[in-house]
Structure 1
Amino acid sequence: MATRPSTGCGCAQVVLHAARGRSNARIARETGLHLDTVRCWRGRFAAQGLAGVSDRERSGRPPSYTALQVAEAKALACRLPAETGVPLARWSCPELAAELAARGITGLVSASTVRRWLRDDALKPWQYQSWIFITDPEFRPKAERVLDLYARTWGGVPLGADEYVISAEEKTSIQARCRCHPTLAPGQARAMRVNHTYGRGGALAYLAAYDVHRAKVFGRCEPRTGIDPFMALVTQVMSTDPYASAKRVFWVVDNGSSHRGKAAADRLAAAFPNAVLVHTPVHASWVNQVEIFFSVVQRKVVSPNDFTDLTEVENRLRAFEDRYNATAQPFQWKFTTSDLDDLLARLDRHTADHPEESSAAVAA
């Protein structure tokens, strides 16, 4: 069966060889083209000259959907389903395909076709991101104080060698889930297997204080969070050197009920005169470095959760603290006050462009 003639240098080679008086068989052998391809191109050149060697127009398969239908599909994907009367939280490609057919925008269309249309414009309506407006009127000064402490300054003055920065927080409700069948270790071409069914063995709170510049963690487990458990953590740290004899120890905390407001600052200062409580802005726990440590704990200690009881949870957390403190290095914190100003400027521009969103946030 003859192959379709190919354009380009293959056609040019056929014409050049033919001009030298060579046979079709020799041309096919020397160019690597099929004999029928050589015969076709040579005949067309002989009959039509250069016009015969150009590729002919091909109709190809006609498009199944018009550009208007594709545009309407993308427009539908860019609207919330609830706004169109569809009781869905998010669009999926199968749901979009069904809705397009139901509205008569297209006929029956596959989900893969809809996905291909959306991919052209990087539309992924099944994904979502959450966001929150800044509501703390003192967001910048509070955040600046924390970021300055990470850079070892306070009020524009560098911290001394006998001043320390502690980041503290509580990780609530770490459960002891005892799997009904033993966890199986990973094997060749097999991931670790954890039984879905489990018995509950209770829950505890894990409180941690992280020395930002020394990368040292102090932790304790408590039945629940509260003022007393938090002050027990403070006492655990402040009763040991170098913190007991330090000039100042800054405690960076969020606005949780265990250490909220001026009352918490006064309580801390009364118990330890060299301790200074520093709050992050409201809804800005991401500024607190101990949250990074908690993410490490979640990945390396807690998940997958398979503990026989709470004692095993406590023992695992204590052992991990020792392991972590033996090799840890300070986090490479790169978010500075300049980055903070850039962030706030972007938020101001967004608020100016979308005043209705800002009004809704204030009303909420």
Structure 2
Amino acid sequence: MPVPHARPITLTAAERRRLTVLAYSHTAGYQQVMRARIVCDAARGDSNAVIARRHEITVDTVRRWRDRFAEQGLAGLADRPRSGRPARFTPVQVAEVKALACQLPAETGTPLSKWTCPDLAAWVNEIEIYFSIVQRKVLTPNDFTSLDQVEDRLTAFEQRYNATARPFRWKFTPADLEDLMTRIERHEQKEQNLQQPDGCDHQPSALALGRITPEGFTT
């Protein structure tokens, strides 16, 4: 199979000045700096393979940004809109939830139990489980040569995961939560009844009691 020729890059004086400043910027993001360096090197006539070795990135990454600049100029170096599910909440709803979360429950008349219900605990655990899956299936082994590779792999996994993911089956019931809270209360009461030496600022911890998992409560 014939090897495709790298597209020639020609810069105007204004484009060269802007890309040079960006390529050596200490405040711009890594990706923007790397894209500017790729285009500058390409404008000097370097091949994709040479640019890839110089910056320790893949040839595909070099080809992508070289082609985008050749087709769209500076605008081609910007990130494209991400595909995915449409937003389920309006910006106003998001702002209202954030404002509510920044207030004390007593200020809004919301019972404290609403902030510690199994639903919230389930969401927190689900987030932890998702990041655990990402760590095992996406970030391991850690053989990336650039942040572009990390971004591409994460994006591909996110799209595949969102299309195939199914809800976790939670076995931790409200009764289990009530039992856990009772045990924590007993544990704290016992700790308070124990006489502590002077200068000891030990605080009772509920972490030793166990943790919530998709399979239920474990100790």
Give me the TM-score of the superposition, normalised by structure 1.
Answer: 0.23
The structure in which a higher percent of residues are helix is 2
**Larger Rg over CA atoms:** 1
- As a proportion of its length, which structure holds more strand? 1
Q: TM-score, normalised by structure 2?
A: 0.36
